[in-house]
Structure 1
Amino acid sequence: MESCTYRKSGKAIHDRKHIQGMEAGIWPGQYYSEVEDLVYKTKIVINNGNKRHTMMKARTILGLMIFFSILNVNKTVAQSNYTLWYDKPATNWNEALPIGNGRLASMVFSGATEERLQLNEESVWAGEPGNNIIKGVYDSIVQIRKLIFEGKYKEAQDLSNSTFPRQAPRDGNYGMQYQPVGNLLIRFAGHENATKYYRDLDIQHALASVSYDVNGVSFKREMFASLTDGVIIVRLTASKPESINCVLSLNTPHKVSQLKVKNDELILTGTTSSVDNKQGRVNFETQVLPKVQGGKVSMTDTSLILTGVDAATVYISIGTNFKNYHDISRNASAVTSGYLANALTKNYETLKSAHIKKYSSYFERVSLDLGTTAQSKKPTNVRVVEFNSNPDPQLTALYFQFGRYLLISGSQPGTAPTTLQGKWNDKLNPAWDSKYTININTEMNYWPAEPTNLSELHQPLFDMIKDLSVTGKESATEMYHARGWNAHHNTDQWRITGPVDGGFYGMWPMGGAWLTQHLWYHYLYTGDKDFLKDVYPVLKGAAMFFVDVLQEEPTHKWLVVSPSMSPENTYEKSVGITAGGTMDNQIVFDVLSNAIHAANTLQTDNEFADTLRTVIKRLPPMQVGQYGQLQEWLKDWDRKDDKHRHISHLYGLFPGNQISPYRNPQLFNAARQSLVYRGDKSTGWSMGWKVNWWARLLDGNRAYKLISDQLSPAPAETTGQNGGTYPNLFDAHPPFQIDGNFGCVSGISEMLLQSQDGAIHVLPALPDVWPNGNVKGLVTRGGFVVDISWKDGKINTLKVISKIGGNCRLRLYDEIVADGKFKLNKASGENQNPLFEVESIKQPLISDKVAPVDLKLRKTYEYDLVTEPGKTYLFKAL
């Protein structure tokens, strides 16, 4: 039994479960943290030696305070800048609300008659350990290269398709599915005619709740996935004693499963699916235990029945036998029981308080205020529908913070990285297996980590990259006869590195290489040399692969990747296989450059760095094609009517930094031309990427237009390439993909602050619809934390906190002055801070059909400030 005792400083208030606060319509524990101090102060003031009188008066004051507080609780919560709220239950998965703690996740539906928590645990994947490398393909790869260089592209594609068939080969697989655990159902008798219905997700505290009235009794549920105690918690309360009557049950879609009820506990065990040539060998267990106040708990063979209960806390624990990608030797039952036993030692308020404290330590690092209109008082689903017809800047800010909420809830240190759907998936066979698509989607998931001040949450991705650098040696050796390591365009929990989805989509050997950019960016944002030393072998291995695998193309004698493709696009009907695609060239340039700089920083591997410098000189330059576009392929094959969702050759604009308005305006304009040709409307993740591109193109209005497109209601259809946003603010491909959420978060931060082009560019792409606002806590390269306020589109105040010291170069459209006793100098020459160094690229080749570009850029002011670690620097408008 959970006690109704509330303690402070060793003192206690002993209340019966139907205290006056409950009689006033308040649920046990609510608001105690806010009013306990006043209760005790009141006791001291009125204490005349009559302790009973003191307690009665204190309780009366407490009850009255709570009573008057609750009158406006719905209004207060609904108007919070950090709340998604609705006046109807979720009728489908895309209306349910997500909670998570990195390892566990749940979608909360919140019906009045039935609560459904759809449950996930991050290691519940189909299959078993093992890579997916097909043996004996090297000779075919050599022949594909030969056909490409002979211009026999259709024949090369056909050979690639037959070497890597569309269906998983007999001796391999095309990746496993991320799968759900099942559902906890809580059914309430007699709640069919509920009134005053309200549900929400408070992303400031990572709490989901639902409340409503039935026959004069107020009911409330509060749910969270504990960041500190590893379980999911459901709190059931009512304003009248003995009012909670419900049935708890568990189910699962897995064929191999068993449900039992023992000692007032639901226990569900299961085993994941067998797919392709892999046996399902992940065993999972879910334990559900309610602790009640008043009433009783009884059991059937498949359920728990709560009768006449005043309040209850339901503890949900899930564990598996997964230890790491090559070891599934843990005892799932022991893991689950361990989490549950630890959580049961703590009452609800203790669990909740610890969870909020941990969550807030991440969330509160960044705030964003873009203004508020009357729209903010409406339910979130209505705001999405009306976003493009009624001004609602606060919804943009909410969407930004919701993305940060998803990263905090889905990617904690020591957990797995977020999948294509984060950690939220309800299907055994989800779209694209809900695995790791590493030709854009996984990378996009982590774009917000560094700039939005969630650097530690990058760690799960780093752990996966380290794993891939081990398993990727097999694909490098077996397929390409190369040293180092590589991965293709997909991976999964088992860290596969071979081609997935056949010889068309799958023949892209660059996924691991792109992922390593995240390691380098983490170093640039933190200056952490210990981290760089730790990951240097990974960076070196990725570079080593290209030293061995690059091929000399016959026309210009450039060194190129072959065979490969520009992700998922074609230049002839059903032909995408190629050599020297622009994105590949850009990624290789980054991989080699990063390894060189890392070796120099760590003062190691001089000979290897010299080898890489030699190779870089022979990479192809970027090219501007006949339409003024940045060429996607080595040859000028682009089509003006191509609307493909992937615009991969703009990698060099974002997330790379090889295209700059100040250093190479012709390429800058060509990138813009490519974006114009492709159009705006697309899949959700594609529009998210486009927000970042337009921000890098310094066009805030066009970037905002993409945000508007993304914040359009998603269609009910779960197929197609329409993009949009679901009522729960999830991104739609469709169906749901979390990368679009993260892409927009990154894009909004890029509109407000950039640091890739040798300086910290403040408000580089501010749209006209955000004339006034402020943002606090964004982070730049060099470890600078920046707060900005602006008015009428111009800088008002600026604060920079230097975490590690070094030169801080500021680039602004407005002049500023120091607000303090420090020296601010006009900048000249290159930024001497090595974390801002911009690598020189080759002079681009430009089609003779293209006229010279006269790029019109806004005037900027640049300042240098030598900073000290831990110091804060304030600036104001001139």
Structure 2
Amino acid sequence: MKRLFSMLCFGLCAVTHLYAYTNRKDTLTVNYPAIAGAADLDYTRPVTRPEEGMPIGNGRMGTLVWTVPSSLKFQLNRVDVFGNSSASNSFFERNTDYCGGTGFVEVDFGRDVFSAPAFHQHLSCYEGMVTTAGRKVATRGLIWEREDVLALEINDQRETSLPVTTTLQMLRMPVTRKGSHQALSKLRQEGDYIILTQEFREDDYYCSSALVAAVGGRAVEAEQNTATSIRLRTLPGSPAFTVYAATAASFNPSEDVVKAAVSKLEAARQKGFTALLQDNRAWWQQFWQRSYIKLHSADKQADYVSQHYAWYLYIMGSSSRGRFPVKFNGMLWSTNGDDRKWGHLYWGANQSCLYNALFQTNHPDLLDPMFDMYSRAYDSYATAARQQWGSQGIYIPETTGFDNTPVLPDSIAAEMRDLYLVRKPWEQRSSAFMEYAYTKMPFLSRWNWKKDEGWKEGRWHTGSKSNSTFGHVSHIFSRGAKIAYQYWLRYEYTQDTAWLRQRAYPMLKGVAEFYRNFPNVRKEKDGRYHIYHINDNESIWDGHNTVEEISAMRGIFPALLKAARLLHTDSDMVPVWQEFLDHLSPLPEQTAGGQTTWTRSLLPVLQGKPDWHPDGNTMPVWFFDLCTLESTPAVQQVGNNTYNTYFDKGIDSTAGVYVLSKIPATGALLGKPEAIQYLVPNQLRRRPNEEVLRNRMDLSEGYQTTNIQRLGRAAEAVQLALCQSVPAGPGEESVIHVFAAWPRSWDAEYTLLCRGGFLVTSAMLQGNIPFVKLEATQGGQCRIRNPWNAPVVLYRNGKKTQVLKGSLLTFAATKGEQVTLQRQR
């Protein structure tokens, strides 16, 4: 009872005002535990479905924690376990491939202990720990930050000492075959360990995983009670003991994953639970202090948004620190095996929901898995550009595997170019091409024209979605540009010249050269470069000058030119790239009722509505800084006209927002407070009849797709409304805007990273901005719009140095210097 009372007190403290001003008017006292604690989960009744469990993870391995009356249950998942590669010929039927899981873990107490009213479960986001209390049984669980180990401390105070049983269970039968693919699962005991291994093989592909469990503080005995599970039973002993479960994975057949997992487990067991918790507390404390947002409003809508923002950060911190980016469809939170809708592939648009908001959080490490995956596959993207499209540079597909894009046989590649570039009629395709395509994964972009027609007489039948090679993601090139632009943004936010030279520049150059050499880009009689036979995201098939692709080119070439000049490289190519940009077609437009708006495409198109506004999930014009608060009035007018077409009746509390929509973020970029006040809360709640789980996640992508896509989109919008750093166009100098789209009735306090490497801290209380503090992480010239429209006093490291006037404030700052701006009184 005393423990429950203390937990309730902590929860009450978390919802009180979290900050206080010090005597200095430019300083906030920040209660980081309370900021994180506002996102805690607290259950007084058990979940009725595993997907509503509480998430814990270290970025590489994770699990939801849920209960049945007698047990705690887990499924340990990893970001680096994949059943097959992109070259697989065994998963030609959609949604049949799998990934992520290593095995089920269950800790059973022998009788019902976890049922209401004697039940309480709490997730501390500040520590990354789940506590669960039942009838005279209490547990604390975490995943160790340093190694891939689940540690569950158990305090069993029941009068009758009962064995506590830890079970490892396979995700499938011991032998599973599909075509030339096979998945082998095995169980065994070694010493006081129980072990579950998996091996996935197909042709040259190999992946394996190991899950090992043991106990510290009690003697144990092991038994295998079914073909798919093995149990470790504790003998009567101390009421306090710890269950450990460790995982490892590899793509190398010669690597001993069991040895690796055992090594991790022993490192954890030797330290003990208390030391593991101290490690996690130290890591999470540092994590929460790198940036923050705290919001409050009288109607609690701002508080609701603030809670979900902290939850977004917790989930990304728990799931995006591994070798591969966490997947949009299930993340590390699968609970029913490793089958999941959409399989093991990455959709660029969906992944962007998770990763676009991370730049301003000052957590570059959380972006590393995404960048690393694309950089590793660079050479294969260059091969794909040549083989599939007859171009140069690199081609990054919208839908891709975790691995390289497969190399094609020369004859297939030659015919593919003719078909995909619309040089050869679809009706003239060869039987050799169709036979080769038959077994390929239909979600991969290059095979996305394939249409499932089902099993007939024991054979899988496929057709074409459009009687051509066009499908939803078949002819999208803008994904490569968006990925490359994110590399550029990483440089802009960090000012890391080594990153620009070694990582970003090759991507920018590769994508630009793809466009410049693409066979269906040509200069017409109007003196402009046009692009033909391409998609506009999934909306337009076989279009002309689609807004996605024109935006991509108009974004990537200025960034490339700026980077080349900064690095003093490719001087011979700079005029070539400049000529291409100078003569590139404008964004597609239409004018009606005296108002000009951007449209999706020019005619002709094979499928879709070209004279419609840009795709609300991708908003390409705004992604590439083509329309910002620094743009010319004419550009801003077209941007506002376009935005308004989404809301014929204006924006209020009734406006529905799709889970993937970037419309709230675009509203923030255009300086619209109503986009934050109404659209962001509605996006978090989802539309009527769309479910949000108890743990604030959802299954919007289908079965086994527990995710936070909508939270990432909302986080991006909130950050941009509080503090955005934008140029007048791509490759130009950025200008900081504080509270550019913030509702005046919402109080806010924050620290966020801006382009140029400036950490910005500010507040708005009752509509007033008391100060803006900027810390130069690298040093350089700062440009910021005057938030007061009055003379501004500038302080350097606490000392008044000058008074600035005008709309645009510009000053230099050295690395580590703190500059504070206040309105002159």
Which residue does 2:402 correspond to in 1? 493
Q: How does 1:338-417 map to 2 (within 5 A)?
A: 338-371=263-296, 391-412=300-321, 414-417=323-326
CA contact (8 A) 2:324 2:402 kept: no
Structure 2: distance between partners of 1:584 and 1:253: 42
> Judging changes above 3 Å, is the alpha-carbon distance between structure 1 residues 645 and 287 closer, same or farther for their aligned structure 2 residues?
farther
**CA shift at 1:671, angstroms?**
3.3
TM-score normalised according to structure 2 size: 0.78
CA contact (8 A) 1:127 1:273 kept: yes
1:453 corresponds to which of 346, 349, 362: 362
C-alpha deviations, 1:26-50, integer Å up to 9, x for none? xxxxxxxxxxxxxxxxxxxxxxxxx
Which residue does 2:673 correspond to in 1? 700
Which residue does 1:151 correspond to in 2? none
CA contact (8 A) 2:377 2:403 kept: no
Q: SS state of the match for residue 319, structure 1?
A: strand
C-alpha deviations, 1:235-290, integer Å up to 9, x for none? 2124568756422112233333222334332211123487xxx7873222111112
Structure 2: distance between partners of 1:84 and 1:452: 22
Structure 2: distance between partners of 1:330 and 1:424: 27
Q: Does 1:586 align with 2:576?
A: no
**CA shift at 1:800, angstroms?**
1.1
> Judging changes above 3 Å, is the alpha-carbon distance between structure 1 residues 810 and 269 closer, same or farther for their aligned structure 2 residues?
same
Q: How does 1:233-248 map to 2 (within 5 A)?
A: 233-239=151-157, 245-248=163-166
> Match for 1:762: what amino acid?
V
Structure 2: distance between partners of 1:415 and 1:453: 20
Which residue does 1:775 correspond to in 2? 750
Structure 2: distance between partners of 1:642 and 1:186: 55
> Match for 1:311: what amino acid?
A
CA contact (8 A) 2:668 2:740 kept: yes
Structure 2: distance between partners of 1:434 and 1:709: 30
Q: How does 1:157-306 map to 2 (within 5 A)?
A: 177-192=98-113, 195-212=117-134, 214=135, 217=136, 219-239=137-157, 245-255=163-173, 256-272=184-200, 281-293=206-218, 297=221, 299-301=223-225, 302-306=230-234
> Match for 1:821: what amino acid?
K
CA contact (8 A) 2:668 2:717 kept: yes
CA contact (8 A) 2:531 2:544 kept: yes
**CA shift at 1:616, angstroms?**
0.9
**CA shift at 1:296, angstroms?**
5.2
> Match for 1:621: what amino acid?
P
Which deviates more, 122-131 or 448-457?
A: 122-131
**CA shift at 1:593, angstroms?**
1.9
Q: SS state of the match for residue 626, structure 1?
A: strand
Structure 1: distance between partners of 2:259 and 2:601: 54
Which residue does 1:88 correspond to in 2? 45
C-alpha deviations, 1:380-413, integer Å up to 9, x for none? xxxxxxxxxx634323112101111122111226
Structure 1: distance between partners of 2:95 and 2:5: 56
CA RMSD of superposed structures (Å): 3.1
Which residue does 1:72 correspond to in 2? 6
Structure 2: distance between partners of 1:450 and 1:824: 31
Which residue does 2:347 correspond to in 1? 437
Unpaired stretches in structure 2, ≥5 consecutive residues: 15-36, 174-183, 407-444, 450-469, 648-654, 728-733
Q: SS state of the match for residue 685, structure 1?
A: coil
Q: SS state of the match for residue 334, structure 1?
A: helix
> Match for 1:728: what amino acid?
N
CA contact (8 A) 1:413 1:456 kept: no
Structure 2: distance between partners of 1:408 and 1:789: 25
Q: SS state of the match for residue 560, structure 2?
A: helix
Which residue does 1:790 correspond to in 2? 764
Q: How does 1:116-155 map to 2 (within 5 A)?
A: 116-128=73-85, 130=87
Which residue does 1:21 correspond to in 2? none
Which deviates more, 529-538 or 627-636?
A: 627-636
Which residue does 1:311 correspond to in 2? 240
Unpaired stretches in structure 1, ≥5 consecutive residues: 1-24, 26-66, 133-166, 374-389, 571-575, 717-721, 829-860
Q: Does 1:331 align with 2:268?
A: no
Q: Does 1:821 align with 2:746?
A: no
CA contact (8 A) 2:65 2:72 kept: yes
Which residue does 1:733 correspond to in 2? 700
Structure 2: distance between partners of 1:599 and 1:471: 24
Structure 2: distance between partners of 1:519 and 1:175: 33
C-alpha deviations, 1:294-353, integer Å up to 9, x for none? x75554542112243412212111112225xxxx65332232223223223211111111
Which residue does 1:540 correspond to in 2? 509
Q: Does 1:528 align with 2:496?
A: yes
Q: Does 1:681 align with 2:656?
A: yes
> Match for 1:191: what amino acid?
D
> Match for 1:544: what amino acid?
E
Structure 2: distance between partners of 1:174 and 1:472: 25
Q: SS state of the match for residue 449, structure 1?
A: helix
> Judging changes above 3 Å, is the alpha-carbon distance between structure 1 residues 621 and 520 closer, same or farther for their aligned structure 2 residues?
same
Structure 1: distance between partners of 2:614 and 2:232: 52
> Judging changes above 3 Å, is the alpha-carbon distance between structure 1 residues 812 and 206 closer, same or farther for their aligned structure 2 residues?
farther
Aligned residues: percent identity?
18
Which deviates more, 749-758 or 419-428?
A: 419-428
**CA shift at 1:681, angstroms?**
2.7
> Judging changes above 3 Å, is the alpha-carbon distance between structure 1 residues 510 and 656 closer, same or farther for their aligned structure 2 residues?
closer
Which residue does 1:804 correspond to in 2? 778
Structure 1: distance between partners of 2:155 and 2:611: 59
> Match for 1:499: what amino acid?
R
C-alpha deviations, 1:786-845, integer Å up to 9, x for none? 1112211221222111111112122143244335434456477xxxxxxxxxxxxxxxxx
CA contact (8 A) 2:57 2:143 kept: yes
> Judging changes above 3 Å, is the alpha-carbon distance between structure 1 residues 419 and 727 closer, same or farther for their aligned structure 2 residues?
same
Structure 2: distance between partners of 1:443 and 1:490: 12
CA contact (8 A) 1:713 1:725 kept: yes
> Judging changes above 3 Å, is the alpha-carbon distance between structure 1 residues 531 and 588 closer, same or farther for their aligned structure 2 residues?
same
2:538 corresponds to which of 552, 568, 571: 568
1:425 corresponds to which of 311, 334, 338: 334
TM-score normalised according to structure 1 size: 0.74
CA contact (8 A) 2:600 2:614 kept: no
Which residue does 1:709 correspond to in 2? 682
Which residue does 1:63 correspond to in 2? none
Structure 2: distance between partners of 1:345 and 1:659: 56
CA contact (8 A) 1:448 1:454 kept: no
> Judging changes above 3 Å, is the alpha-carbon distance between structure 1 residues 444 and 607 closer, same or farther for their aligned structure 2 residues?
farther
> Match for 1:787: what amino acid?
T
> Judging changes above 3 Å, is the alpha-carbon distance between structure 1 residues 569 and 93 closer, same or farther for their aligned structure 2 residues?
farther
Q: SS state of the match for residue 210, structure 2?
A: strand
- Count of residue pairs brought into register by the alignment: 698
> Judging changes above 3 Å, is the alpha-carbon distance between structure 1 residues 672 and 322 closer, same or farther for their aligned structure 2 residues?
farther
CA contact (8 A) 1:484 1:542 kept: yes
Structure 2: distance between partners of 1:537 and 1:253: 41
**CA shift at 1:363, angstroms?**
2.1
> Judging changes above 3 Å, is the alpha-carbon distance between structure 1 residues 307 and 641 closer, same or farther for their aligned structure 2 residues?
farther
> Judging changes above 3 Å, is the alpha-carbon distance between structure 1 residues 478 and 664 closer, same or farther for their aligned structure 2 residues?
same
Structure 1: distance between partners of 2:769 and 2:488: 31
Structure 2: distance between partners of 1:432 and 1:471: 23
**CA shift at 1:88, angstroms?**
1.8
Structure 2: distance between partners of 1:500 and 1:748: 37
Structure 2: distance between partners of 1:726 and 1:644: 31
Structure 1: distance between partners of 2:362 and 2:272: 32
CA contact (8 A) 1:766 1:793 kept: no
Structure 1: distance between partners of 2:613 and 2:46: 38
